[in-house]
Structure 1
Amino acid sequence: MTADAMALDQFAERSDRFMAWLAAHDGFRVSDKIALVDMRAEKQGRAVVAAADVAEGEVLFSLPRTALLTVENSGLAARIPELAGLGAWVALIVAMLAESGPGSRWAPYFDVLPTEFTLPMFWTDAELAELAGTTVLDKIGKDEAEETYRSVVAPLVARHADVFAGVDTSLAAFHRMGSLILSYSFDLERNPGGEEEEVAEEAEAEEEAEEEAEEDAEAGAGAAGPPPAEAASDAGDDDEADFIKAMVPLADMLNGDSDLNNAKLFYTPTNLEMRAIAPIPAGAQVYNTYGDLPNADLLRRYGYVRPGKTANDVVEIGADAILKIAGAELNEANLQKRIDFLTDVGEANDEYILDETYELACESPAVPLEALLLTYVLQLSAPEFRALKKAEPTALFEVPRRALKTEAAQEAWLQILAAKAAEYPTDIVTDENLRFDTALGFNVHNAIEVRLSEKRILDRAARAVRDWKLAAGKKRKAAAGSRPAKRVR
């Protein structure tokens, strides 16, 4: 038997053992209309496929909560009391490390989980260089994750050596567990009521929380595992009391596609059920959804992109770039006064203008109103700014949108967009040709897809800015100064 044939047999044997392990749980049911199949040739690992026509509403499988890999089900909290203070991310990583040995009750489950990843976390330096200009690099969080390992996880493992005897607790194992949580975990209600409810998959839950928390702190560090232990234990305490982070066997074998989504996970007080939300013909793959994420987030969290499907893509423009270019005529003290004014106005109106970044969307690459207001305030003359400060706190929000589109603002935004475009290693034409270069690896092709989409958004945004119907007003110089910008608070 060839090596490839042996590997194929081993892959199938592990799938069979996994399904047998699930079947041994009281309350587990699986429809004979679905099958777990090998889709490595399509770079999709294992996947669930319909073996027969499935009607909308049919239950594909039902999983008891006892089969979930959670901190609670592992029983580890009783042996490691300090686990309760680590936060959901770190605690689940520690539990997964402890349960990853061959004698664990979850061993057949770990055998079907990936050991290699296409997440940027695991890319070479040369591959990461292909992501220059994108915000993916800033959100990988590898350094933060490794600091968590060194300062929190490794000392904990050393204090409880008996618990981790015979299991791999290396940095590489830590990264694997963190990446599995990032790509596969679900957030489940801790004490569900009597009504059935849809389960929030990790990416969807994270997307919904972005308006209430700093995405970079939560998801950026989470790309390699958890945020630092202090952040994990201090942030989101109420949410962590109501929800648990869980690995859900079989549910996480479904690939995700927001366009092809035909199944969703629901829970009852005792079980989780995967149900068809649309008819699924025999032979078709069963898809969950990760939410309407841009390709940059799909790459960072799941290690793949959807070529040509760019409707959800965005470009992030840093506030520092706007401050530097639009506020070039202001000295440091006056720049800070305008930042303070914008902060105060935002707090008074509960409608914040200042942000770390501003998004230009694929479907509508117009400059966001908040970014226009920021530019407007930065470019006011000293008398105009004093008059605005004396006005009602709502005065800034009452400025007509067209009045924000001055010639000075136009010049500033053309420079801001050009500066952002210059951060990428290639231009649009080059990337359009590189897409068809079969000599390039999978990761490089994914990087090209992300940066090409972002550059196209920038190009459309620049054309839209050039087409502004300008408000009458004095032209002001908008060239970038040499002075470094102050950070937005």
Structure 2
Amino acid sequence: MATQAKRRRVVGPTGGGEPDTDPVAGFLRWCQRVGLELNPKVVVTRQGTVAGYGMVALDSVQPGELLFAVPRAALLSPHTCSIGGLLERERGALQSQSGWVPLLLALLHELQAPDSPWNPYFALWPELGRLEHPMFWPEEERRRLLQGTGVLEAVEKDLTNIRSEYSSIVLPFMEAHPDLFRSGVRSVELYHQLVALVMAYSFQEPLEEEDDEKEPNSPLMVPAADILNHSANHNANLEYSADYLRMVATRPIPKGQEIFNTYGQMANWQLIHMYGFVEPYPDNTDDTADIQMVTVREAAVQRAKSTAERLLLYERWDFLCKLEMVGEEGAFVVGREEVLTEEELTTTLRVLCMSAVEFREYKDRDEWREDESREDSLTITNIPKLKASWRQLLQDSVLLTLQTYATDLKAEQDLLSNKIYAKLSWREQQALQVRYGQKMILHRLLEMTS
């Protein structure tokens, strides 16, 4: 999954051999050796791509046409790496919150090995020291540019988990196997970089429908597939089968057009957090804005006229928590056309806006969900039809949310609409796009609730 960072040969931390003078040619020779079939209609190139390496159509491609097929033996995973047996035997000791430790150890081992079979594949990876994820930005810059977007909180959780995972699981494992992990890879900085790389480049095979109760599949690296850049308006999709992973065209791709995969329905704050780039407004049709659940509670409490009313609101909040509709760290997610957490927000507005008598009756019902009604639907276009008390609470919540940003919408519009934008740093431009997209969604909600 390509980021917008410049790519080059990744030399192992302790040497690892000389880079191929033509990384693409070396990669294509490797593809032939491992049976990775590339359609002659596509080319791996930097020319005509939105960022770094990508794939471009040399000839017109039709929907359903195979772009390339990756044999499972060519995937880089804890099962296919050269220390796969050890990782499997130690699987219990390598369990972590992320579930990524075995893959990260596989990468740490293979990157340092001069004769790793994946070296030609590594040649197309980005320079690890130049990844643009916000976790690598100076803290002051991150706070200044991304306050209010949700990225700060996500990064803080990541950094805490990475440090804990490295010190308690990864480093002890490497120190227990010094013959497999040279001192040059025993570095928390390198581990940070590889976590970001796995965030941006790995794939996670979806579970079968009957396996929905199982833990998610572990991530794996898919050569060729991770060369494709992302677009919400993508034209290709990865399909999984027993022997191969296939990238297939989903619509006509004219000659000369870049081939885009999708990383999923990703808001811009998720793209910059996980991949280090965004889609400029208004290209990301999957963009969202969050309203923290506790912000709605705060807005309701602020309107309470007495201690008794405030206590009743906290009782209602506890009830919503028991229904698993809200949580202290949860958020209501609003897209450009719909509320993605419609049931949760609808139920929250209903309960918090009830009279005391209505709440007592509602709380005692067994089939409370049957109380949902069409007129209370939270599709964006239907928000003006909501009850006045619901609209007022939603509006107050949006206003509180907008206060969490360091700047207002007009300031963002001024930056975007004049020559100043071109003079901003790359990080400033990316962060501005995140903030602007979110504020546009929130201001539309304000209009709908007025």
Question: What interval of TM-score do these two structures reach, taking the shorter chain for normalisation?
Answer: 0.7 to 0.9
SS in 2 for 1:438: helix
Supply the distance in 2 between the matched residues of 1:167 and 1:428 (Cα, whole angstroms).
47
Matches within 5 A, 1:153-164: 153-164=170-181
1:271 pairs with 2:244: yes
Q: 1:134 aligns with which of 135, 138, 149?
A: 149
- 1:428-478 Cα deviation digits (max 9, x unpaired): 121112124222111111111111111111111111111xxxxxxxxxxxx
Supply the distance in 2 between the matched residues of 1:56 and 1:416 (Cα, whole angstroms).
44
- Give the letter aligned to residue 172 of structure 2: P
Q: Which residue of 2 aligns with 1:108?
A: 120
Supply the distance in 1 between the matched residues of 2:66 and 2:389 (Cα, whole angstroms).
60
Q: Which residue of 2 aligns with 1:238?
A: 214
Matches within 5 A, 1:239-388: 239-240=215-216, 243-259=217-233, 261-307=234-280, 308-328=282-302, 329=304, 334-344=312-322, 346=323, 352-355=324-327, 356-364=330-338, 368=342, 370-388=344-362
Equivalent pair of 1:315/1:360 in contact (CA under 8 Å): yes
Supply the distance in 1 between the matched residues of 2:164 and 2:139 (Cα, whole angstroms).
20
Q: Which residue of 2 aligns with 1:458?
A: 442
Q: Which residue of 2 aligns with 1:486?
A: none
Identity %: 28
Change (3 A) 1:156 1:134: same
Equivalent pair of 2:94/2:101 in contact (CA under 8 Å): yes
Supply the distance in 1 between the matched residues of 2:213 and 2:170 (Cα, whole angstroms).
20
Supply the distance in 2 between the matched residues of 1:373 and 1:109 (Cα, whole angstroms).
50
1:86 pairs with 2:98: no
Q: Which residue of 2 aligns with 1:195?
A: none
- Give the letter aligned to residue 182 of structure 2: A
1:144 pairs with 2:156: no
Supply the distance in 1 between the matched residues of 2:369 and 2:63 (Cα, whole angstroms).
52
Q: Which residue of 2 aligns with 1:417?
A: 398
SS in 2 for 1:264: strand
Instruction: Give the drift of 1:371.
Output: 2.6
Q: Which residue of 2 aligns with 1:431?
A: 412
Supply the distance in 2 between the matched residues of 1:384 and 1:31 (Cα, whole angstroms).
64
Matches within 5 A, 1:35-50: 35-39=43-47, 44-50=51-57
Gap runs ≥5 in structure 1: 1-5, 189-199, 210-235, 347-351, 467-489
The TM-score normalised by the length of structure 1 is 0.74
Change (3 A) 1:93 1:464: same
SS in 1 for 2:248: strand
Q: 1:70 aligns with which of 59, 71, 77?
A: 77
Change (3 A) 1:28 1:370: closer
Instruction: Give the drift of 1:89.
Output: 1.1
Supply the distance in 1 between the matched residues of 2:249 and 2:363 (Cα, whole angstroms).
57
Supply the distance in 2 between the matched residues of 1:365 and 1:244 (Cα, whole angstroms).
30
Instruction: Give the drift of 1:318.
Output: 1.1
Change (3 A) 1:375 1:31: closer
The TM-score normalised by the length of structure 2 is 0.80
Instruction: Give the drift of 1:295.
Output: 1.6
- 1:39-93 Cα deviation digits (max 9, x unpaired): 5x96611111122333444333232221110101114242343235534411111
Greater mean alpha carbon deviation, residues 67-76 or residues 159-168: 159-168
Supply the distance in 1 between the matched residues of 2:64 and 2:349 (Cα, whole angstroms).
51
Supply the distance in 2 between the matched residues of 1:327 and 1:258 (Cα, whole angstroms).
38
- Give the letter aligned to residue 92 of structure 1: L
Instruction: Give the drift of 1:252.
Output: 0.9
Q: Which residue of 1 aligns with 2:106?
A: 95
Greater mean alpha carbon deviation, residues 168-177 or residues 390-399: 390-399
- Give the letter aligned to residue 43 of structure 2: A
Gap runs ≥5 in structure 2: 1-7, 10-18, 378-384
Supply the distance in 2 between the matched residues of 1:406 and 1:264 (Cα, whole angstroms).
42
Q: Which residue of 2 aligns with 1:165?
A: 182
Equivalent pair of 1:64/1:271 in contact (CA under 8 Å): yes
Instruction: Give the drift of 1:170.
Output: 1.3
Change (3 A) 1:257 1:381: closer
Supply the distance in 2 between the matched residues of 1:67 and 1:387 (Cα, whole angstroms).
61
- 1:258-277 Cα deviation digits (max 9, x unpaired): 31x23333344322333333
Supply the distance in 2 between the matched residues of 1:407 and 1:52 (Cα, whole angstroms).
57
Equivalent pair of 1:292/1:312 in contact (CA under 8 Å): yes
Q: Which residue of 1 aligns with 2:26?
A: 17
Supply the distance in 1 between the matched residues of 2:140 and 2:202 (Cα, whole angstroms).
30
Q: Which residue of 1 aligns with 2:381?
A: none
Supply the distance in 1 between the matched residues of 2:213 and 2:103 (Cα, whole angstroms).
16
Supply the distance in 1 between the matched residues of 2:312 and 2:401 (Cα, whole angstroms).
25
Matches within 5 A, 1:47-66: 47-66=54-73
SS in 2 for 1:187: coil
Instruction: Give the drift of 1:336.
Output: 4.2
Q: Which residue of 1 aligns with 2:15?
A: none
- Give the letter aligned to residue 38 of structure 1: R
- 1:219-254 Cα deviation digits (max 9, x unpaired): xxxxxxxxxxxxxxxxx98235xx442101111111
Supply the distance in 2 between the matched residues of 1:321 and 1:459 (Cα, whole angstroms).
16
Supply the distance in 2 between the matched residues of 1:290 and 1:460 (Cα, whole angstroms).
27
Equivalent pair of 1:360/1:367 in contact (CA under 8 Å): yes
- Give the letter aligned to residue 188 of structure 2: L
Equivalent pair of 1:100/1:167 in contact (CA under 8 Å): no
Q: 1:119 aligns with which of 118, 127, 133?
A: 133
Supply the distance in 1 between the matched residues of 2:254 and 2:334 (Cα, whole angstroms).
38
Supply the distance in 1 between the matched residues of 2:247 and 2:284 (Cα, whole angstroms).
28
Greater mean alpha carbon deviation, residues 314-323 or residues 359-368: 359-368
**CA root-mean-square deviation:** 3.2
